[in-house]
Amino acid sequence: DGGITQSPKYLFRKEGQNVTLSCEQNLNHDAMYWYRQDPGQGLRLIYYSQIVNDFQKGDIAEGYSVSREKKESFPLTVTSAQKNPTAFYLCASSILGLGETQYFGPGTRLLVL
Amino acid sequence: AQTVTQSQPEMSVQEAETVTLSCTYDTSESNYYLFWYKQPPSRQMILVIRQEAYKQQNATENRFSVNFQKAAKSFSLKISDPQLGDTAMYFCAFIIQGAQKLVFGQGTRLTINP
């Protein structure tokens, strides 16, 4: 089955700790994205990548970092600099083009202890 | 600024009762793409329907159709014969041609009652 997987489903972070959220896709999509969703709100873009070894900041990149070493994988690290990390994180991917549809993974819920 | 406004935070209808969700957006660009996504209780975002702004014909996808009014910057979603499984948050979004960021509205929580 082709699709996007995210792990873990739930993640707990202690104060001062960095945590990494995994996102993998087997759709052969070039572009991948990370969005954050807060309660009662739409999604906001954190980072995106159109090609391996290259990525761009979105609207709310502070306190986050990413890497794109493989086409299939786009992990997101929530660093200790992110003061309000509690949210639902969604990964998406798309083919490159003009307004191509972004397909989403099942998400990771991050909670701060 | 590029924004999306969904003026109905919550809606509740009976099964089989056609429902329309409103969406307006703001952009100075002329080439863009519009989407409706649904987010059921599982929280996965699922594409419902997509519309190219350069197309005058309204997109349809089975029981889902849109009313796209480009001049008014309006993009409403009509669900015909809604079923219990259509209960979800519905998000309107758009992306500028060549850009990478989807701009989302705040969502409409739709409940379909038996």
Please choose, from the candidates B78, B60, B105, the residue with its C-alpha nearest in 3D space to the C-alpha of residue B21: B78
> Cβ(B21)–Cβ(B6) under 8 Å?
yes
Judge: A40–B45 Cβ closer than 8 Å, yes or no. no
What pLDDT shows up at residue A48? Answer: 96
Could A41 and B46 be called an inter-chain contact, meaning their C-beta atoms sit closer than 8 Å? Answer: no
- Name the token pair of A6: 């995210």
B16: left (phi over 0), alpha (psi -120 to 50) or beta: left
Taking alpha carbons only, the member of B7, B24, B33 closest to residue B108 is B7
pLDDT of A106 reads: 96
Res B110: pLDDT:
98
Asked if the model's pLDDT at residue A98 lies above 80, the reply is: no
User: What is the distance between the alpha carbons of residues B89 and B50, in angstroms, rounded to a whole number?
Assistant: 17
| Nearest CA-CA distance, residue A65 and chain B, Å | 17
Amino acid A109: pLDDT: 96
- The pLDDT score that the predictor gives to residue B76 is 98
Q: How near does any CA of chain A get to the CA of B102, in Å?
A: 8
Interface with chain B: mutation pick from A37, A89, A96, highest number of B CBs within 10 Å: A37
Say whether B102 and A102 touch across the interface (CB within 8 A): yes
- The answer for residues whose C-beta is within 8 angstroms of residue B77's C-beta and 6 or more apart is B20, B21, B23, B36, B48, B49, B64, B65, B66, B90, B92
Interface of A with B in 9-68 (CB under 8 A): 31, 33, 35, 40-45, 48, 50, 56, 58-59
Contact yes or no for B45 and A43 at CB 8 A? yes
C-beta atoms of A101 and B101 within 8 A: no
pLDDT tens track, chain B, 114 positions: 889 999 999 999 999 999 999 999 999 999 999 999 999 999 999 999 999 999 989 999 999 999 999 999 999 999 999 999 999 999 999 999 888 889 999 999 999 999
Q: Which residues of chain B have a CB within 8 Å of the CB of A105?
A: 44
Mean pLDDT within A66-78:
97
Contact: A56, B46; criterion CB under 8 Å = no
pLDDT above 70 for A1: no
pLDDT at A81: 87
pLDDT > 90: percent of chain A: 81
Res. A52: pLDDT tops 70: yes
Interface contact flag, A104 B45, Cβ < 8 Å: yes
Who has greater pLDDT, A62 or A39? A62
